Amino acid sequence: MPDRQIFHSVKLDRDKCRGCTTCIKHCPTEAIRVRRGRAQIISERCIDCGICIRVCPHKAKKAECDPPERLGDYKHKVALPAPSLYAQFRNLDGADRVLAGLLRIGFDAVWEVSRGAELISEATRRALAEGSRPRPAISSACPAVVRLICIRFPALIPNVIDLIAPFEAAAIAARREAAEKTGLRPEEIGVFFITPCPAKVTAARNPLLLDRPVADGCLSMTEVYKRLLPVLKDIKDPPPLARSGAEGIGWARSGGETSALAPDRKLYVDGIENVISVLESVEDGSLSEVDFIELNACNQGCIGGCLTVENPYIARENLAGLLRGRKGSAAPAKPEPFAPASLRGAKKLEYEPIYEIVGDRAEAMEKYARIEELRKELPGLDCGSCGAPSCRALAEDIVLGKASEDDCIFRFREKMGGGAMANPDEFLPPPFRREEKE
Amino acid sequence: MPEVRLSYDIDGDDFSSAGEASVAMKKALRQMGIEPETIRRCSVCMYEGEMNAVIHAGGGRAEVLVSPERIKITIEDDGPGIADVEAAMREGYSTAPPRVRELGFGAGMGLPNMKRCSDELDIETAAGRGTKITMIVRL
């Protein structure tokens, strides 16, 4: 079994958590339980998709990033802005203004992640032409999706194109370029990714396809936005810093990665529930006529990441404005001398069998049968009062020794002599009463 | 000898619900520690069976029996039956009505895909009395 991840960007703020059941109901991997009045994240199940951050009514879930003060640890600081950053600003006249702004808020250089994206687009075109992979080929760009495939759709691991992420390609190139231009040692150069989501923070710390991290830290897009906003309007005639074309910047939204590919049969899907449903179809063999699938865990793609500021639909329009009249790919016209020699992953994705009940199959089957029995005995209300997302999940937790049958308030009530009560309805809240009170 | 029985109703009214039994079965097999590739084969068998039951028979029933040696998937319906089983086994042979084919389904790959993904396939069918397809995937 591969090493399970220890670090997760998605964290709980214990002081803010009220122990409500909103997050457990929305988590797509059933990774949260409520215990002793607080949510608890089951580390190996969490894919850092950020759904719980979005739905928490008490803002008790957060995405941990690096503090901007970390920039001070390095002699030369390079910003790697995700293209979704540009989409946060209305009426932006070009990426140059944002890049110039980054140089005013503490960075010495910029290296656009969209340039990295163009390198990955080119590598994807080559990988698809090779045709050695089972169809449909699946993009590895969204780390939440890749983790989801590793825990829930392992049969589709061979379909995933094993290319590193655009921000990783950008980080490697940025450090090499900075080292050459400044004469500094690579470790004196700080390369910071400005991220739209927690999944990328986790992936930067524990790379999915690389042996070791290539960025020195991740800054929250919200945090950087706050610092940029006051300086942007003061920039007169920003210098031409932007090098990438519409192809790379387009990666910020769902469909961007796909539009950089030849007009084969391709599909782009966003939103974690849609992603799951399409992956089920791929597994069932009902999408075998499709050549390529782009999957983004967030609605509208990276512009919908939970560390962005702007509503994703408005961000999409902002981005469209920015791309209007912009040339397609800059990559072939401007070769990247500092690009990594290989964009292929250094390690393989592995199945993480976290949903397996126990390693021994006969025992797992026996336990599964017991789960089914228990599930039928439970009320099926999925009320969440036991701290599990559904009666079924409680049945699993009970059989695995992580919960007790008494955790179900309805079962417990019965056990405490519910049958002897003159009118059991008296003791139930309105949704569960059989008759309306007078 | 442990044996786990899973049963699902295949709703014939809702075209889009085809695939639900496959999703539920996959979850169960994953929990029981079945290998990913075996799960994928079972999911193709189940999905194609569900589609056939919805397209041709207005729904049906699916049952999965899991034992340490094999997974047995049975899909049964009370539809019109398969008139020519030999023809139905040929790739591209389809009797799906035009309204289904217009939706992109009924390409005549259902039974061939089921045969490809299972180790044994058995079809019991009689005109007007329905169809029972049994597939075995060995572990």
Q: Do B2 and A369 touch (CB under 8 A)?
A: yes
- A355: nearest CA partner in chain B: B31
Q: What angle do CA A176, A177, A178 make, to 5 degrees?
A: 95
- A279: nearest CA partner in chain B: B23
* H/E stretch holding B117: helix B110-117
Nearest to B32 among A152, A280, A365 (CB): A365
Is A402 a residue whose pLDDT tops 50? yes
- B42: nearest CA partner in chain A: A284
Whether B31 has its CB under 8 Å from any CB of chain A: the answer is yes
Q: Do A285 and B4 touch (CB under 8 A)?
A: no
- Count of beta carbons in the 10 Å neighbourhood of residue A131: 9
Cα–Cα dist A397/A393, whole Å: 6
Q: What angle do CA A133, A137, A141 make, to 5 degrees?
A: 125
Q: Do A284 and B44 touch (CB under 8 A)?
A: yes
Whether B23 has its CB under 8 Å from any CB of chain A: the answer is yes
Indicate the range of A272-281, A289-298, B93-102 predicted with least confidence: B93-102
Contact of A349 with A150, CB cutoff 8 Å: yes
Which of A30, A159, A284, A374 to mutate to test binding with chain B, by most B CBs within 10 Å of its CB? A284
Sort out which chain B residues have CB atoms less than 8 A from A368's CB and list them: 4, 28, 31-32
Confidence of residue A291 (pLDDT cuts 50, 70, 90): very high
Cα–Cα dist A161/A163, whole Å: 6
pLDDT digits (tens, 9 = 90+) for A158-197: 999 999 999 999 999 999 999 999 999 999 999 999 999 9
Contact of B50 with B83, CB cutoff 8 Å: no
Sort out which chain A residues have CB atoms less than 8 A from B40's CB and list them: 155, 283
Q: Supply the pLDDT for residue A2.
A: 42
What residues does B138 pair with on adjacent strands? Answer: B70
Sort out which chain B residues have CB atoms less than 8 A from A157's CB and list them: 36
Q: Do A355 and B3 touch (CB under 8 A)?
A: no
Predicted TM-score (pTM) of the model is 0.93
- Up-side HSE of residue B73: CA atoms within 13 Å toward CB? 30
More confident residue, A335 or B26: B26
pLDDT digits (tens, 9 = 90+) for A128-163: 998 788 999 999 999 999 999 999 999 999 999 999
Smallest CA–CA distance, residue B108 to chain A, in Å, is: 13
- Domains annotated on chain A, with CATH: 10-63 (3.30.70.20), 68-343 (no CATH), 361-432 (1.10.15.40)
Q: What is the mean pLDDT of residues A417-424?
A: 59
Looking at this protein, which amino acid is placed at residue A183? G
Contact of A33 with A388, CB cutoff 8 Å: yes
Q: Do B39 and A155 touch (CB under 8 A)?
A: yes
Q: Supply the pLDDT for residue B108.
A: 77
Structure tokens at A50: 């950020």
Which of A29, A159, A281, A283 to mutate to test binding with chain B, by most B CBs within 10 Å of its CB? A283
Which of B5, B39, B40, B114 to mutate to test binding with chain A, by most A CBs within 10 Å of its CB? B40
Looking at this protein, which amino acid is placed at residue A86? Y
Sort out which chain A residues have CB atoms less than 8 A from B34's CB and list them: 361
Nearest to B33 among A280, A281, A361 (CB): A361
Sort out which chain A residues have CB atoms less than 8 A from B39's CB and list them: 155, 283
Smallest CA–CA distance, residue A69 to chain B, in Å, is: 45
Nearest to A368 among B31, B46, B68 (CB): B31
Contact of A113 with A166, CB cutoff 8 Å: yes
- Count of beta carbons in the 10 Å neighbourhood of residue A23: 26
A97 burial (CB, 10 Å; 0-12 / 13-18 / 19+) is buried
pLDDT digits (tens, 9 = 90+) for A306-328: 999 999 999 999 999 999 867 65
Q: Do B22 and A284 touch (CB under 8 A)?
A: yes
Contact of A210 with A163, CB cutoff 8 Å: no
Q: Supply the pLDDT for residue A221.
A: 98
Under DSSP, is residue B71 helix (H, G, I), strand (E, B) or coil? Answer: strand
Q: What angle do CA A399, A403, A409 make, to 5 degrees?
A: 115
Q: What is the mean pLDDT of residues A48-55?
A: 97
Q: Supply the pLDDT for residue B13.
A: 77
Is A332 a residue whose pLDDT tops 80? no
What Cα–Cα distance (Å) separates residue A408 from each residue in A194, A197, A386, A414? 44, 35, 5, 10
Helix/strand/coil (H/E/C) assignment for every residue in chain A: CCCCCCCCCEEECCCCCCCCCHHHHHCCCCCEEEECCEEEECHHHCCCCCHHHHHCCCCCEEECCCCHHHHHHCCEEEEEECHHHHHHCCCCCCHHHHHHHHHHCCCCEECCHHHHHHHHHHHHHHHHHHCCCCCCEECCCCHHHHHHHHHHCHHHHHHECCECCHHHHHHHHHHHHHHHHHCCCHHHEEEEEEECCHHHHHHHHCCCCCCCCCCCEEEEHHHHHHHHHHHHCCCCCCCCCCCCCHHHHHHHCCCHHHHCCCCCCEEEEECHHHHHHHHHHHHHCCCCCCCEEEEECCCCHHHHCCCCCCCHHHHHHHHHHHHCCCCCCCCCCCCCCCCCCCCECCCCCCCCCCCCCCCCHHHHHHHHHHHHHHHHHCCCCCCCCCCCCCHHHHHHHHHCCCCCHHHCHHHHHHHCCHHHCCCHHHHCCHHHCCCCCC
Smallest CA–CA distance, residue B81 to chain A, in Å, is: 24
Q: Supply the pLDDT for residue A426.
A: 66
Smallest CA–CA distance, residue B41 to chain A, in Å, is: 8
Nearest to A361 among B6, B32, B44 (CB): B32
Q: Do B43 and A284 touch (CB under 8 A)?
A: yes
Is A88 a residue whose pLDDT tops 60? yes
Q: Supply the pLDDT for residue A310.
A: 97
Which of B32, B40, B75, B139 to mutate to test binding with chain A, by most A CBs within 10 Å of its CB? B32
Sort out which chain A residues have CB atoms less than 8 A from B3's CB and list them: 365
Task: Give every residue of chain B whose pLDDT is below 50, as ranges.
Answer: none
Under DSSP, is residue B42 helix (H, G, I), strand (E, B) or coil? Answer: helix
First to last CA, chain A: 59
Nearest to A284 among B2, B19, B27 (CB): B19
Residue carrying the six token digits 């786990």: B4
- Chain B stretch 99-118, residues whose beta carbon is closer than 8 A to a beta carbon of chain A: 113, 117
Sort out which chain A residues have CB atoms less than 8 A from B42's CB and list them: none
Q: Supply the pLDDT for residue A3.
A: 46
- B44: nearest CA partner in chain A: A284
Confidence of residue A329 (pLDDT cuts 50, 70, 90): low
- A153: nearest CA partner in chain B: B36
Nearest to B68 among A154, A362, A396 (CB): A362
Is A363 a residue whose pLDDT tops 90? yes
Find all residues with CB under 8 Å of A324, minimum gap 6, and list them. none
Is A331 a residue whose pLDDT tops 50? no
Q: Supply the pLDDT for residue A412.
A: 85
Instruction: Look at residues A147, A166, A165, A170 and name the one whose alpha carbon lies nearest to residue A157.
Output: A147
- B41: nearest CA partner in chain A: A284
Q: Supply the pLDDT for residue A438.
A: 58
Structure tokens at A278: 């399409």
Instruction: Look at residues A37, A12, A41 and name the one whose alpha carbon lies nearest to residue A27.
Output: A41
Structure tokens at B56: 């041709």
What Cα–Cα distance (Å) separates residue A212 from each residue in A146, A164, A288, B59? 17, 12, 34, 52
Residue carrying the six token digits 């089972």: A134
Instruction: Look at residues B57, B63, B60 and name the one whose alpha carbon lies nearest to residue B128.
Output: B57
Nearest to A355 among B30, B47, B68 (CB): B30
Max distance between CA atoms of chain A, in angstroms, equals 85
Residue carrying the six token digits 């109703």: B9
Q: Supply the pLDDT for residue B137.
A: 97
Sort out which chain A residues have CB atoms less than 8 A from B47's CB and list them: 284-286
